[in-house]
Each structure stands twice: as C-alpha cells, then as structure tokens.
Amino acid sequence: VIEKGLPTAGLLAYIMVSKYADHLPLTRLEGIFARHGISLSRKTMAGWVDTVASLLEPVVMAMLAVVLTSLKLHTDDTPVPVLDRTRDRTREGRLWVFVGDEEHPYIVYGYSPNKKQDFILKVLGNYEGYLQADAAPGYDALFAKATLSEVACWMHARRGFFDAKGSDELRALTAMAFIRLLYAVEKEAKGLLSRLHPLAADT
C-alpha cells in the first residue's frame, strides 16, 4: 500500500479502524502493540495514517459527490482544539459532517481551520435541494441562493424553550410537548420525501 513500506493493508486497516472507529489514540495503540512484543512507535503510525488518508481521499471525494446528489442533506460542525506551534495555546478548528438522505446513505467528514464560510461555500456552493443546518451565520450565503431550501432544526429551537424553563416553566414545557409531537410526525413520515422525489422536484 505504501511504496517501499513494510505495513500490510491489513495492519494499516487495523490502525485506521482502531483510531477513527474505535477512538483509540496512537499512543494507546503503541502500548497495545508493545504488550504483544511489537515495537511500533506512534510517530511511525502517524506517518502511516497521513499516507493512508491521502490514498483514501479519492474515495471520500466520490462519497461526497454522491451525498451532494441527495434531495435533502444534513450538515453540522464541531469545534476541535488544534495544536499550533506558533502559539502558546491551541486554536479552534472545525470538523464538519455531511449526511446524505436515504437514497444516498453516506456520511462524509471534512476539516477546516476555522468557522469562516469559505469552506462550507466550497463544499456546498453548488448544492441544490433541502439543507438542514443550525443558524450559524456561515450558512447565510448558501441560504440566499434560490436553488437551495433552508430546513431549520427543531432540536436547536427546543434548546431555547428548555433553557426558559426556569423563567416560564408552563409555557416552556407546553412548547416542548408540541415539539415532541412534531418528532412523532417526523418519525411516521421518515423516508416519505425521498419516495416523493419526482413529485417534489416538480413542485
């Protein structure tokens, strides 16, 4: 897999799955290998991970292309601390997720060094369909497009009522009860929009 490299495809797959699916940091993997009598430094494994990530990039881009053909698409971002040797503290990067609909069931992750809208515009700038996201300002330029429909998130809306329980418990709990009923409707209607895809496209 790696030119002039010693690791087999199986070993590389084991390391990647352990790190990204089982959430085992390379330092812990180093200790696991050591208990089996195998000397394998995390620095070496980090180099392998970087190489495998580059090799898998065409696969990820192909998956993203499929996700972007979804009638409805979900996206969100999570802040992550990033080491920066030019600073005396970490800076904040962003991990993004893009989730396709039932007919395009891939989940693709991306990374940006900040929350500026440049990254999301690059990924979703040509997307046409229903986009569900939070109310972050970075999406405003996307939602201004006529070819894209904004779908708000009830979970984000619910948080405001949850936080308001202390000041107006009755109305806050009433609103949360109505939202729960909406969740039941969504559960019953799950997949309906995809099945109506041709009709939805015409309307």
Higher pLDDT, 189 or 203: 189
pLDDT for 191 equals 66
Classify strands 129-132 and 91-99 as parallel, antiparallel or unpaired. Answer: unpaired
Query: Does the CA dihedral 47-49-53-56 come out positive or negative?
Result: positive
Distance (Å, rounded) from C-alpha 128 to C-alpha 53?
A: 29
**pLDDT above 60: residue 198:** no
Alpha helices in 85-168 (DSSP H): 117-124, 140-143, 154-163
Q: What is the pLDDT of residues 51-62, one digit of tens each?
A: 999 999 999 999
Distance (Å, rounded) from C-alpha 29 to C-alpha 15?
A: 8
Q: Which of 29-33, 34-38, 87-91, 106-110 has the lowest mean pLDDT?
A: 87-91
Q: What is the pLDDT of residues 125-179, one digit of tens each?
A: 899 999 998 877 778 888 888 788 888 888 888 999 999 999 999 999 999 999 9
**pLDDT above 90: residue 26:** yes
pLDDT for 202 equals 43
Task: Write down the pTM of the prediction.
Answer: 0.75
Overall average pLDDT of the 101-120 stretch: 89
Task: Provide the angle, in degrees to the nearest 10, between the axes of the packed helices 42-67 and 26-35.
Answer: 130
